[in-house]
Amino acid sequence: MRIVKDYCSKAISYVFPEGEESKNLETVKALYVKLIEEKFDRHDFIIALGGGVTGDLTGYSAATYLRGIDFIQVPTSLLADVDSSIGGKTGVDFDSYKNMIGAFHMPKLVYINIDTMDTLDLRQFNSGMGEVIKSALIKNASFFNWLEENIDAIKSKDKEFILKMIYECNIIKKNVVENDPTEKGERALLNLGHTLGHAIEKYMNFEMMHGECVLVGTILAAIISKNKGYISEEENNRIISLIKKLDFPSLPKDLDYDKIIMYTKNDKKVIGNKIKFICLSKIGEAFITTDITDEDMKKALEEYMVTGR
């Protein structure tokens, strides 16, 4: 705030409770009230200082207040650094439908300071790793190899490695978003691990973090890709063994597969009644398919529960 005040005639703050429970239209409404009371106009801008929820919610408020004002992303979580702060996807959840209300609204600037990594607990850090591994898997095999080789240094939050890792993810995201800003095609690849990941997030009542569910969803997408013959057994094993080097919660033993599969149908990634699923054709290359059946997902969930966690 002190630094912002040095550059702006006036700076005010609006703080809301952390977590997915705040990512809704009520919080947006309270922010609109604050902006109106403080007489924000189109020359003003909002800074999103926080993790993915803060960035998405602030971005959506900026996109809709006075038909759109500027905003700046200052991510403080690994997940926001590597994924959600970049590319202009903004939004909130609606009832239990994740990111159902939103807008594409590019931030004017994304400022990442890796010292914020020191503020993250292990769960938050590993949650961000879900999006890191996803990024490598869809676009960059040598980055995936590098992650395999350096996972211990990354887990110890060695700054040199963290910097390279975030930078590589940012380049992947930048290239994908520049080619397809409004997700008419290629951008959907960034949803690897998210179809089943979002369904599990909802099934677990949002008690698991988003990136933790992406880690599980990415394993499931790898298992499906292997079972369909798109990737080899060896590639599948490499993906699972890298992800298993991270700590994340186990799924309950009595997992209701049908309920999870039902939740995938409520996802935004559905065309007609067909799920737009992201599979891997190899490590570093992904594709969109509508050929994944409920049976494929069920089989992968069963396999996950036997071999997974």
Cβ–Cβ under 8 Å, residues 194 and 269: yes
Interaction with ligand GLY in 185-204: which residues (CB under 6 A)?
Answer: 187, 190
Pick the piece of the chain touching ligand GLY (CB under 6 A) from 18-26, 82-90, 197-205, 297-305.
Answer: 82-90
CA distance 120 to 132: 16
The answer to whether residue 23 forms part of the interface with ligand GLY (CB under 6 A) is no
Residues tagged active-site: 67, 89, 131, 173, 183, 187, 191, 194, 198, 210
Q: Give the binding range for ligand GLY (CB under 6 A) out of 56-64, 84-92, 150-158, 222-230.
A: 84-92
Note whether 267 and 97 are within 8 A (CB): no
Applying CB under 6 A, among 56, 83, 168, 267 the residue interacting with ligand GLY is 83
Closer of 137 and 190 to ligand GLY (Cβ): 190
Alpha-helix runs per DSSP H in the chain: 2-7, 25-37, 52-64, 78-79, 122-139, 141-155, 159-179, 194-203, 210-227, 233-243, 257-265, 294-307
Residue placing its CB nearer to ligand GLY in the complex, 211 or 301: 211
- Determine how many CB atoms are found less than 10 A away from the CB of residue 47: 21
How many residues belong to the site for ligand GLY (CB under 6 A)? 6
Does position 168 interact with ligand GLY (CB under 6 A)? The reply is no
Query: Which of 84, 236 has the CB closer to ligand GLY?
Result: 84
Contacts of 112 (CB under 8 A, 6+ apart): 75, 81, 85, 166, 170
89 is a contact residue toward ligand GLY (CB under 6 A): yes
How far apart, in whole angstroms, are the C-alpha atoms of residue 266 and residue 3? Answer: 43
Q: Which is nearer to ligand GLY, 87 or 107 (CB)?
A: 87
- 83 or 235: whose CB is closer to ligand GLY? 83
Shortest distance, CB of residue 12 to ligand GLY, whole angstroms?
29
Distance, in Å, from the CA atom of 188 to the CA atom of 52, rounded to the nearest integer, reads 18
How many angstroms separate the CA atoms of 189 and 279, rounded?
9
Q: Does 87 bind ligand GLY (CB under 6 A)?
A: yes
Minimum CB–partner distance for residue 190 and ligand GLY (Å): 4
Residues that bind ligand GLY (CB under 6 A): 83-84, 87, 89, 187, 190
